[in-house]
Structure 1
Amino acid sequence: MIAYLRLEVRRTLRDAGFVIFGIGMPVAMYLLFSNLVLDGGGQRPETMVSLMVGMAAYGALGSALSVGTGLAEDRSLGWLRQLRLTPLAPSRVVAARALTGSVIVLPAIVAVLLAGRLVNHVALAPWQWGALLGLLWLGSAPFTLLGLGNGYRLSTQTTGVVNLVCNLG
């Protein structure tokens, strides 16, 4: 199962669309919105932290839900059927996909937090950075499971639309 997990994580992180929209887009939106606030006059530290947390959560949720879209694509291509021919149990395939979702949310969260620290000089205590990372990571877990459920239940096109609606909601 560990080898399958590594395969799925590498496959996801090699996807240029995921890197651009799952990691780059939340960072770009955070920098844009934070610069709009800075240009508007008053730079309040709590505003910078709120923007940073919001965009990190947005990136985490988008990445978590994208696991379901990838699963629906694999299902339509027959990859899941091929996996049934291997000694890997179906429960382990689902568990590996859930773990993949929990791993791939971390780059989006870390990228936005780094942008907040390095670009906008957000100052938090070390334990606050750790708590923030942990809470955002744990908070994305239900959305990973929602994305997986959508991916198993819906077609590829429908999964993408439903996941987008869930993310916007």
Structure 2
Amino acid sequence: MSLLLTHTKYRFLETIRVPIAVVGNTFFPSASMLFFVVPFAGDDPLVATLATGSMMTFSVMSTALFTHGLGVADDRAQPWDPYTRTLPAGPWPRFGSNILNGLIMTLLGILPVLVIAATLTEATVTPAQLLLGLGALLVASIPFTLIGLFVGYLLPAKAAIAVVQLVLLPMAVGGGLLMSPTDPPAFIAAVAPFLPTRGGAELVWAAVGGPAPRALPLAMLAVWTVVAGALAVWAYRRDEGRRFS
């Protein structure tokens, strides 16, 4: 545990030494709140609350993909990474510190969204609903963390950033995160249940007082998690075999 916390501390310090990484992590969800939620749904308590849940899901998704996808790929390009992977501590402190650092960055990303929702909209939740919503966000982040690890261990940094960007926007739009949670276009309504973004968003919506999640989006969230987990393990072992065998 001490090794895990030490790795996490230095990984976090390494991240915040590049301030634009923190700014970028918070900018897009906050800007989406200001441009899409506040003007169009801010006066309706239920819709504003659900839309805030969507933006928080978007923030979690973005942070997981960039932190793990681009971060791991960039680490693999540094000479320090192969050295630490040969140490007798094993992979867990390094691997676990990636996940914990991602959770810290996720918290930093959703805080501005919460502040905007509380001050500029009629969104409202009880303390219990807020805690449930944070738990639902943690579950929603799992497939995107695994997808990020898969991309990070499979591709070099220049390719990883392009792939992460190609995954992020279609997943967000296709899952209905950037439009009305109660009245999406027909095409989005048809596609969204098959994407992990929708399953995660419906969990968050239910936690903050919205409708109960449907079976299909939850099942697909589980399927994406299992498949992404298998791909992440495969990519890690492939990288290990190529670099250290």
What is the TM-score with the length of structure 1 in the denominator? Answer: 0.87
CA RMSD, aligned part only? 2.0
Any conservation in 2 of the 1:72–1:152 contact (CA below 8 Å)?
yes
**1:79: Cα distance to partner?**
2.6
Per the alignment, residue 187 of structure 2 pairs with: none
**Residue identity (%):** 27
Report the Cα distance in structure 1 between the residues aligned to 2:54 and 2:126, rounded to whole angstroms: 19
* Residue identity in the other structure for 1:57: T
1:21-60 aligned within 5 A = 21-37=24-40, 43-60=43-60
Q: CA deviation at 1:146?
A: 1.4
Does 1:20 find its partner at 2:1?
Answer: no
**Structure 2 SS opposite 1:88:** coil
Specify the SS of the correspondent of 1:21.
helix
| Partners of 1:14 and 1:59 in 2: CA distance | 21
1:150-169 residue CA offsets vs partner (Å, 9 max, x unmatched): 10111111111111222222
Instruction: Give distance in 2, aligned partners of 1:13 and 1:127.
Output: 31
Measured in 2, the distance between the counterparts of 1:53 and 1:132 equals 8
Rg (Cα) greater in structure: 2
By relative contact order (CA 8 Å, sep 6+), the higher-ranking structure is: 1
Q: How does 1:13-162 map to 2 (within 5 A)?
A: 13-37=16-40, 43-67=43-67, 68-84=69-85, 86-162=87-163
The Cα of 1:132 is off from its aligned counterpart by: 1.1
**Unmatched runs of 5 consecutive residues or more in structure 2:** 172-245
Are the aligned partners of 2:70 and 2:148 in contact in 1 as well (CA < 8 Å)?
A: yes
Which string of whole-angstrom CA distances, capped at 9 and with x for unpartnered residues, describes residues 50-106 of structure 1?
221111111111111112201111111223113135443223312221222233212
Deviates more, 1:82-91 or 1:114-123: 82-91
Whole-angstrom distance in 2 between the partners of 1:145 and 1:26: 21
Aligned length: 166
Looking at structure 1, the residues matched to 153 and 76 of structure 2 have their Cα atoms a distance apart, in angstroms, of: 8
The normalised TM-score by structure 2 is 0.62
Q: Which moved more, 1:132-141 or 1:97-106?
A: 97-106
Q: Provide the C-alpha distance between the structure 2 equivalents of 1:79 and 1:165, rounded to a whole number of angstroms.
A: 29
